[in-house]
Amino acid sequence: MKYLLDFRDKSKVKALKEAIEKFSLPSFVFMEVCGTHTWSIFHHGLRSLFPHWMKHLSGPGCPVCVTPNDVIDYAIELTLKEKVILVTFGDMLKVPGSYMSLREAKAKGGKIRVIYSVEDALKIAKNFPDQPVVFLGIGFETTAPSIAWAVLKAREERIKNFYILPANKLIPPAIREILKSNPNLDGFLLPGHVSTIIGRTPYLFISEEFHKGGVISGFEPLDILFSLYLLLKMKKDASPSIVNQYKRSVKEEGNPKARMIMKKVFRVVDSKWRGLGMIPASGLDLKDEFREFNAYHVFPLNIPPPQEYPGCRCGEVLAGKIVPPECPLFGKACTPENPKGPCMVSVEGACGIYYRYGG
């Protein structure tokens, strides 16, 4: 606890606030690309410390939010028509698909179970050997190694009823796409969790090609404020670079062993992101040699074209084009109790965070 309190020291927060204010730039727009950063900024009241010339945008850092409707629709069809046991993380239950949510599918008789790790999914498959168990594999580079491990484990233990609905995505290509369409961004708070896997190098294009700054940041108040200070200094000195502020958790090279197991099981593919569309080389799919674990291959389904809820602007929030209160549904038709888009559902979704803490 004392260790955490060191990163929340009020006198140090005050000193950093004053140091940030001294830059006195005409404007500064930064984006965080991690739902935990969004939550931390609001939870600790950091926005109240930002100078009037600093603007904060939330990017596509919430894995639940960027998962497109067609993936959710497919999962629903699996559990209702193929009678599989679908296992997923709790946030996914309330996410609206084109026609219903997983929670509504469960009410209609779908066998859907909430788990806390992919290891739980393997246990369920072992406990119900006569029923197909499909894990909805959402997430970024952070969760991909554990999913890859589960596939290898299932093969090793000859678990024949375990399948993956692959939907993992890669963060750097999404950042590249955002920079192409949003040249007014001045810098990025880069995700700490993802960076423990991929390290610093995959972000270098941000400074080398787009001449913007990026800081891999921790999640405590002093982490975030110091990272913003570093970004502002880059802007002031016109010297953009990629800096690792979160050295207590992120190594320069990331986690080579985790990436090795990912590379063994997955191949990189083009992937559809909510709000950003199809992004080249931004997703992970199971390699052909593991296709017997791929739910898309084992359970081929024809599903209707995906639809979005009329008026929902969740995709624009994820792309950094608007902030949540600019959506006409925000706080009216769309609330955490009755979400119309995934950004209002997840604990890491920008709309839900704005709603709970105030924008």
CA-to-CA separations, 358 to 8, 165, 228, 316, 352, in angstroms, rounded:
22, 35, 22, 19, 10
What average pLDDT is seen over the chain? 95
Which residue range forms the structural domain that includes residue 254?
A: 17-357
What six digits make up the tokens of 101?
């949510």
Average pLDDT estimate for 104-117: 95
Asked whether residue 22 is domain-assigned, the answer is yes
pLDDT in tens, 174-228: 999 999 989 899 999 999 999 999 999 999 999 999 999 999 999 999 999 999 9
Asked whether residue 345 is domain-assigned, the answer is yes
**Which pLDDT score, from 0 to 100, does residue 1 have?**
43
Are the CB atoms for 346 and 64 separated by under 8 Å?
yes
Give 296's pLDDT tier (boundaries 50, 70, 90): very high
Asked whether residue 112 is domain-assigned, the answer is yes
SS3 call for 36: helix
Asked whether residue 69 is domain-assigned, the answer is yes
Asked whether residue 8 is domain-assigned, the answer is no
What is the identity of the amino acid at 75?
A
pLDDT in tens, 126-151: 999 999 999 999 999 999 999 999 99
Question: Helix, strand, coil proportions of the chain in percent (round to 5)?
Answer: 45, 20, 35
What six digits make up the tokens of 26?
């005409």
pLDDT in tens, 62-102: 999 999 999 999 999 999 999 899 999 988 999 999 999 99
Asked whether residue 210 is domain-assigned, the answer is yes
**Which pLDDT score, from 0 to 100, does residue 128 have?**
96
Pairing of strands 242-244, 213-216: parallel
341: domain CATH number?
A: 3.40.50.11740
359 has pLDDT over 70: no
**Which pLDDT score, from 0 to 100, does residue 17 have?**
96
276 has pLDDT over 80: yes
Question: Please, what's the b/e burial string for 212-234 (b: 16 or more CB within 10 A of its CB; e: otherwise)?
Answer: bbbbbbbbbbbbbbbbbbbbbeb
pLDDT: is 122 or 1 the higher one? 122
Q: Considering the entire predicted model, what is its pTM?
A: 0.94
Asked whether residue 91 is domain-assigned, the answer is yes
**Which pLDDT score, from 0 to 100, does residue 145 have?**
98
Asked whether residue 114 is domain-assigned, the answer is yes
| The dihedral formed by the CA atoms of 325, 331, 332 and 334, expressed in degrees to the nearest 10 | 100
Average pLDDT estimate for 283-288: 98
SS3 call for 300: coil
Question: Please, what's the b/e burial string for 1-28 (b: 16 or more CB within 10 A of its CB; e: otherwise)?
Answer: eeeeeebeeeeebeebbeebeebeeeeb
Query: Based on the structure, what is the number of domains in the chain?
Result: 1
What six digits make up the tokens of 83?
């009678």
